[in-house]
Chain A
Amino acid sequence: MSLRGKTAVVGIGYAGLGSSPGWTPLELAAKAAERALADAGLRAGDIDGLCASTFYHLFPTLSMSEQLRISPKWSNADMTGGSTFIAQMLQAALAIEAGLCKNVLIVYGSAARSTKDIYGIIDLPILQSSYAPLLPVGAYAMSAARHMHEFGTTRTHLAEVAVAARKWAQLNPDAALRDPLTIDDVLKSPMVSDPLSRLDCCLVSDGGGALIMTSAERARDMPQPPVFVLGVGTAHSHRDISQMADLTTTGAVESGQRAYQMAGVTAREIDVLQLYDAFTILPILFLEDLGFCKKGEGGPFVADGGIAPGGRLPVNTSGGGLSFVHPGMYGLFALHETCVQLRGQGGERQVKAPNLGLAHGNGGYFSHQATAILGSAAAL
Chain B
Amino acid sequence: MQMGTSFEQPGPIAQYLKFLAEGKFKLQRSRSSGQYFYYPRAFSIGLESDDIEWVDVSGKGKVYSSTIVRRPEKYGGDFNIALVELDEGPRMLTRVLGIAADAVEIGMRVTARIELPAWEKNPSQPLVVFYPDQR
B135 to chain A, nearest CB (A): 18
Q: Which residue of B lies closest to A127 (CB)?
A: B39
- Is A131's CB within 8 Å of the partner chain B? yes
- Is B30's CB within 8 Å of the partner chain A? no
With known contacts A126-B13, A127-B39, A145–B91 Cβ distance under 8 A: no
Taking a contact as CB atoms closer than 8 A, the residue among B69, B83, B117, B120 that contacts A242 in the complex is: B83
A193 contacts B70, C-beta separation under 8 Å: yes
Provide the residues of chain A in CB contact with B64, threshold 8 Å. 146, 247
A197 to chain B, nearest CB (A): 9
- Is B55's CB within 8 Å of the partner chain A? no
Interface 9-mer from B2-10, B46-54, B92-100 = B92-100
B86 to chain A, nearest CB (A): 11
- Is B110's CB within 8 Å of the partner chain A? no
B106 contacts A193, C-beta separation under 8 Å: no
Interface 9-mer from A134-142, A180-188, A221-229 = A134-142
Taking a contact as CB atoms closer than 8 A, the residue among A130, A145, A240 that contacts B65 in the complex is: A145
A132 contacts B93, C-beta separation under 8 Å: no
Kindly identify, within residues 67 to 101 of chain B, every residue whose CB is under 8 Å from any CB belonging to chain A. Answer: 67-70, 81-83, 91-95
- Is A118's CB within 8 Å of the partner chain B? no
Provide the residues of chain A in CB contact with B58, threshold 8 Å. none
A69 to chain B, nearest CB (A): 43
* Contact digits for A231-260, partner B, Cβ 8 Å, 1 yes 0 no: 000000000111100010000000000000
Provide the residues of chain B in CB contact with A138, threshold 8 Å. 67, 69, 81
Q: How large is the interface on B (under 10, 10 to 19, 20 to 34, 35 or more residues)?
A: 20 to 34
B106 contacts A146, C-beta separation under 8 Å: yes
Taking a contact as CB atoms closer than 8 A, the residue among A125, A133, A146, A247 that contacts B81 in the complex is: A133
B68 contacts A131, C-beta separation under 8 Å: no
Q: Which residue of A lies closest to B38 (CB)?
A: A242
The answer for the CA separation of A141 and B106 in the assembled complex, in Å, is 13
The answer for the CA separation of A138 and B67 in the assembled complex, in Å, is 7
- Is B66's CB within 8 Å of the partner chain A? yes
With known contacts A132-B119, A133-B93, A149–B39 Cβ distance under 8 A: no
Taking a contact as CB atoms closer than 8 A, the residue among B65, B94, B102, B119 that contacts A146 in the complex is: B65
Taking a contact as CB atoms closer than 8 A, the residue among A128, A143, A194 that contacts B70 in the complex is: A194
- Is B112's CB within 8 Å of the partner chain A? no
Q: List 25 A-B contacts (CB under 8 A).
A: A125-B13, A126-B17, A130-B125, A130-B127, A131-B81, A131-B94, A132-B119, A133-B93, A134-B81, A138-B81, A142-B66, A142-B67, A143-B65, A145-B65, A145-B106, A146-B106, A149-B106, A191-B68, A193-B68, A193-B81, A194-B68, A241-B83, A242-B83, A242-B93, A247-B65
The answer for the CA separation of A195 and B68 in the assembled complex, in Å, is 8
A318 to chain B, nearest CB (A): 29
Provide the residues of chain B in CB contact with A146, threshold 8 Å. 64-65, 106
With known contacts A127-B13, A142-B83, A241–B70 Cβ distance under 8 A: no
